[in-house]
Amino acid sequence: MDLVQKAYTLALTARENAYAPYSHFRVGAAFKLKDSDQIITGCNVENASFGATICAERGIIMKSFADYGKAEFDFAVVVTKDDPPAPPCALCLQVLAEFCGPDFPIHIADLEGIKKTLCLKELIPHSFTAFTPEE
Ligand code: THU
C-alpha cells in the first residue's frame, strides 16, 4: 500500500475517534512527516464552549510539535462524509501556511476514497504572513 493510501486509511480510523457531540460532523486527518514514513493522525475535538473546539488538522500540528519538535510534512489527507468532501477550514489553512509550502498537497477524501487533490496555495492563496518567525 502506498503512503497516501495508508494515510487515508489512518485518517478514516482517526475520524471514527472524533469527539463531535455538538456538530456530529466528524473529521479525520493524517499528515505524512517529511524524511520519515511516519504518519501523524488527528480528529476534531469539540467543546461545550464551541470556540474551544480543535480541528483535526490543527490537532496534528500540536501533536507533531510535541512528538517531533517540528511540523514538516510531505502531504495531508483530510476525510469527511461531506459531499463534496470538505477541505480544511480557513483557520487551519492559515496555520498550515505557517509550516507547509505553497505546493503542499492536500488530498480531500470522503468515506469512499480520495476525491480531489489541491495544493495549499490553491486553498489559501493569500495567507497572513506579516511577521517573520523568530526562535
Ligand atoms: N472541523 C475540522 O476538524 N477541520 C476543519 O478544517 C473544519 C472543521 C471540525 C470542527 C468542528 O468540530 C466540526 O468540524 C464542524 O465545524
Residue 1 CA to ligand 1 center (angstroms) comes to 28
Q: Does pLDDT of 87 surpass 90?
A: yes
Hey, where are the domains in the chain?
3-123
Residue 87 CA to ligand 1 center (angstroms) comes to 10
What is the average per-residue pLDDT within 14-37? 98
Give me the helices (H) in 42-112, please. Answer: 56-68, 90-99
Query: Which three cell numbers mark 128?
Result: 497572513
Residue type for position 38? Q
Contact 96, 55 (CB under 8 A): no
Q: For 3-123, which CATH class?
A: alpha beta
> pTM of whole model > 0.85?
yes
Which residue has cell 466528524? 26
